Structure 1
Amino acid sequence: MTDEEIQEIGDQIVRVVKTIYDPEIPVDIYELGLIYDVFVNDEKEAKILMTLTSPNCPVAESLPREVEDKVKSLPNIIDCEVEITFDPTWTQEMMSEEAKLELGML
């Protein structure tokens, strides 16, 4: 695959991730800053490095599965793995300006 094709698949992944919302905060997980990185290889496998708002997050089991399932539903993706990390720990500073505006923090 070309770099352009990989970039396009990465953009598609970001678009689908933006349809997933944190159940406690009315902002999508991408704008919340929970997605740290998205990788796509030549075999059309995706790996997403993400965090949760806290280690005790009530959706710690279901949210990563939802991300995997939605990304796997993309026609250009054969497989997806989500890795959860708490390094660095998520803070409100990781939210986009859009998220902060939505939550009345600006």
Structure 2
Amino acid sequence: MNRLARFAGFGSDDAGQVDRDDVIAAAAVAADHSPSDASAQMLGDPEALREPIIAALRQVHDPEIPVNIYDLGLIYKIDIADNGNVDVDMTLTAPACPVAGLMPVMVKDAVKRVEGVGEVAVELVWDPPWSPDTMSDEAKLTLGML
């Protein structure tokens, strides 16, 4: 279990094991509920994709924390090219996160489902390190940190 989940009191007491099937199921749910925005493609403005992409990212959750990854502050950068290709820089709450291998895939799948998005590249970065200061006030409130 990662440090934030342990701090917030979420997860099980079984040595922090995360069921791989639960992570895959969470990714499928996030992908099926991602919004699309036909107007972004019609406008030809890549920035019109930003809000639908953020909405899609808000459907992705770390299975140990009941807050989406965008409001947790795990998304550092969203670059949208004129052709609709998207580059995302993200981090995790801890390098030893049990879903470190799956989380970037979940992010990529969610962003790819947004209408008007082309190729998606997700890079996992560790600098700057994540801290609770990057969380939205809503996330902090949900986790009892405000």
TM-score using structure 1 length: 0.93
- The answer on 1:5 being equivalent to 2:5 is no
Cα deviation digits, residues 19-69 of structure 1 (max 9, x gap): 001111110000000000100001110000100011111111111001101
- The answer on 1:103 being equivalent to 2:143 is yes
- The answer on 1:18 being equivalent to 2:50 is no
Q: C-alpha distance in 1, partners of 2:113/2:138? A: 27
1:29 to 69, 76, 83: 69
Query: Partner letter of residue 64 of structure 1?
Result: P
Report the RMSD for the aligned CA atoms in angstroms.
Answer: 1.6
- State the structure with more CA Rg: 2
1:84 equivalent in structure 2? 124
> 1:6 offset after TM fit, Å?
1.9
| Structure (1/2) with the larger helix percentage | 2
TM-score using structure 2 length: 0.68
Q: Secondary structure at the match of 1:82?
A: strand
1:66 to 81, 106, 119: 106
Contiguous gaps of at least 5 residues in structure 1: none
Identity %: 42
* Off by >4 Å, runs of 4+ in structure 1: none
2:92 equivalent in structure 1? 52
Q: Secondary structure at the match of 1:37?
A: strand
> 1:8 offset after TM fit, Å?
1.5
| Structure (1/2) with the larger strand percentage | 1
Q: Secondary structure at the match of 2:94?
A: coil
Q: Secondary structure at the match of 1:105?
A: coil
- The number of residues matched between the two structures is 105
> 1:5 offset after TM fit, Å?
2.0
1:42 to 82, 87, 110: 82
Q: Secondary structure at the match of 2:111?
A: helix
